[in-house]
Amino acid sequence: MAHRGSTVLWPENTMQAFQGAIDLGYKYLETDVHATADGVLVCFHDSILERTTDETGPVVARSLEELGSIDAGHRFNPVHHFPARGQGLSIPSLEELALTFPDVVITVDLKASGIEQLMADTISRLHLEDRIIVGSFVEKRVRKFRKIASDRVATSAGPRETARIVFGAKIGRMPRVSADVLQVPEFHGRIHVLNERVIDIVQSQGKQIHVWTVNDLDEMARFLDLGVDGIVTDRPDLLKELLVERTGSWSVGNV
């Protein structure tokens, strides 16, 4: 699963990054969404523009048209040459991403409160129910979205659900959760979130487990050996090389 397309190979959350991952053969993308001032979901990680663009201020203060004139590749820096500046890269809408690549499955992180209804409406309007996983690091956002979307859209576990699953794995009992997938790092601080017990108990309930964000080849190999269902990475090129080495071929089913 290509994390924001890639934060390393291309300017993150741009159509160039998503296209790069697609060109490598990926069918699974991860992105983040904020709402614009005129109520459009856009693919952008931060709440403010400074880190990646040539502008400042909150994303939500700008219209989609205004964001279209911002240089989303301005601060992409390998190494200090800023190769994406002035290349016409803008902040894409979720709709642009979904319609440009109609065969991809998209994992979406809700980065702001109050956009849950907009997310559900966008999914319905674009008929994305079978092409999207919605999650958030804020439990209330996930719960609110589930209430709006009912069972029509797959969701990932929020922080409290994740904690319950990890604790349940220790005692050998899977708690009842509404999430369809657990998307986690291996460690959260000193807490070992992802281990064989967690993987086994999640998969025993017909749910999937995805690990993020894995950019090291040895770590990728280790997680594949553990049997995770998905790896979220900034290095889709390296993960592809590993899978080709292991299987002797490459297809989207390997991703």
On the question of pLDDT at 248 being above 90, the answer is: no
34 is catalytic: no
Longest Cα separation, the chain:
55
Alpha-carbon distance of 127 to 21, in angstroms, equals: 23
On the question of pLDDT at 107 being above 70, the answer is: yes
In this prediction, residue 254 carries a pLDDT of 47
On average, the pLDDT of the chain sits at 96
Read off the pLDDT of each residue in 230-251 and give the average, rounded to a whole number: 93
In this prediction, residue 185 carries a pLDDT of 97
Read off the pLDDT of each residue in 154-175 and give the average, rounded to a whole number: 95
Look at the pTM and tell me if it is higher than 0.85. Answer: yes
Q: Which helix (H) or strand (E) holds 209?
A: strand 208-211
Q: Which of 3, 34, 74, 210 is catalytic?
A: 3
Q: How far is CA 174 from the centre of its chain?
A: 25
In this prediction, residue 255 carries a pLDDT of 45
Over the Cα atoms of the chain, what is R_g? 18
115 contact partners, CB below 8 Å, separation of at least 6? 33, 34, 35, 41
Q: Which of 34, 45, 188, 210 is catalytic?
A: 45
3 is catalytic: yes
* pLDDT tens per residue across span 195-237: 999 999 999 999 999 999 999 999 999 999 999 999 999 999 9
Q: Are 195 and 209 in contact (CB under 8 A)?
A: no
